[in-house]
């Protein structure tokens, strides 16, 4: 079974989830290395991860993706294997229009997820990095990259909204109001339980997690010729940019983590596996709401959900999708703290 894991696929409050300022120790403009309590990791040099941005970034070099009429040629709006409910026998027996509807609604959820993630989570963190508000001594090369990253993410939100509007006009299928996305609900709950002065740092760690995870959508849809061209190309544009963003946030984590100190690392580290699961696990409430538009009884809906999203499959898929992120954490000594390692084990993300 293939699952789309980036919220099946965040974030808004009046303070942007921030408490009072939490500054980091000062450091020089480009050279960094181990600090107190950092497990004596070797030094490294901060370098730009968005070099040649003007010649590579989708906002600079890629055209607007225009939806064409390709359904008559048999093309679909999403990779079928990434929409398990659309492949379930109880849905398929309702006919091709029911399958089509579920694929389109899945696309809408992905596009909305992307827009909200970029604007309400990632750009909240990236804009603070760009403006030098994450602490004194932040390397200038990292700040310059963050300005570009903010621009990229706003563009991703824009083209996601644009594609949603194009698909809605072409198909006549309206989006289902699914309420607050699951991972936004979870993220808010986690932040509410933190002291105000830790909320910014938690937000930065969430950004690291979400920007280094490998989405099945970004990896698979661009290569799937069954999917309409404009959707494939839009997601490919996004994937190319996100490869550079992953490198940026990996470097940012290597800079940030040792500067938190033993106490903060021990307190915030156990949140990392929670962020991974919150980001990757399917939004079951939203999927149920999408099925509500079909002539299915409550018991049938629950059978479909249980068949499509068994806990053991979701857990295994989450661990696979988190491989790069888990390696990043291992490399930076995150698992050296037994309390943090135990938290990863409890979430099925560490042996």
Could you read off the pLDDT of 29-82 as tens digits, one per residue? 445 555 544 454 556 789 999 999 999 999 999 999 999 999 999 999 999 999
CATH superfamily of 50-259+280-310: Ribonucleotide Reductase, subunit A (1.10.620.20)
**Domains of the chain: which residue ranges?**
50-259+280-310
Cα gap 13→15, rounded to integer Å: 6
pLDDT in tens, 298-332: 999 999 999 999 999 999 999 999 999 999 999 99
pLDDT in tens, 226-246: 999 999 999 999 999 999 999
Q: 5-14, 85-94, 99-108, 291-300: lowest mean pLDDT where?
A: 5-14
Cα gap 87→170, rounded to integer Å: 23
Q: How confident is the model at residue 11, as a pLDDT? A: 27
3-state helix, strand, coil in the chain (%, to 5): 65, 0, 35
- By C-alpha distance, which of 5, 75, 13, 11 is closest to 287? 5
Cα gap 136→138, rounded to integer Å: 6
Q: Is the pLDDT confidence value at 4 over 50?
A: yes
pTM over 0.85: yes
- State the burial class of residue 274 (Cβ atoms within 10 Å of its Cβ: 0-12, 13-18, 19+): buried
CA torsion sign for 183, 188, 191, 196 is positive
């Amino acid at each position: 079974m293939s699952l789309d894991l980036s919220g099946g696929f965040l974030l808004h409050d009046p303070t942007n989830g921030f408490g009072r300022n939490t500054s980091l120790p000062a450091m020089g403009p480009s050279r960094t290395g181990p600090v107190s309590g950092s497990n004596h990791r070797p030094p490294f040099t901060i370098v730009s991860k968005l070099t040649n941005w003007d010649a590579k970034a989708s906002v600079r070099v890629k055209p607007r993706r225009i939806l064409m009429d390709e359904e008559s040629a048999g093309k679909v709006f999403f990779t079928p294997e990434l929409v398990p409910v659309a492949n379930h026998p109880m849905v398929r027996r309702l006919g091709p229009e029911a399958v089509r509807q579920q694929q389109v609604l899945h696309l809408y959820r992905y596009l909305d997820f992307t827009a909200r993630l970029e604007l309400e989570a990632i750009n909240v963190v990236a804009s603070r990095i760009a403006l030098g508000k994450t602490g004194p001594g932040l390397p200038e090369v990292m700040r310059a990259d963050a300005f570009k990253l903010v621009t990229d993410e706003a563009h991703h939100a824009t083209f996601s909204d644009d594609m949603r509007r194009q698909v809605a006009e072409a198909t006549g299928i309206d989006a289902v109001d699914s309420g607050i996305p699951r991972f936004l609900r979870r993220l808010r709950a986690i932040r509410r339980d933190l002291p105000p002065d830790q909320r910014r740092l938690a937000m930065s760690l969430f950004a690291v997690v979400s920007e280094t995870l490998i989405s099945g959508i970004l990896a698979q849809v661009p290569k799937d010729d069954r999917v309409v061209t404009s959707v494939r190309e839009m997601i490919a544009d996004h994937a190319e940019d996100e490869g550079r963003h992953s490198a940026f946030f990996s470097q940012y984590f290597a800079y940030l983590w040792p500067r938190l100190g033993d106490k903060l690392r021990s307190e915030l580290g156990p949140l990392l596996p929670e962020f991974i699961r919150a980001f990757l696990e399917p939004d079951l409430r939203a999927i149920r709401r999408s099925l509500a538009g079909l002539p299915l009884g409550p018991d049938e809906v629950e059978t479909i959900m249980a068949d499509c999203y068994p806990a053991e499959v979701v857990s295994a898929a989450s661990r696979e999708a988190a491989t790069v992120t888990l390696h990043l954490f291992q490399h930076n000594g995150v698992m050296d703290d037994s309390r943090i390692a135990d938290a990863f084990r409890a979430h099925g993300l560490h042996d």
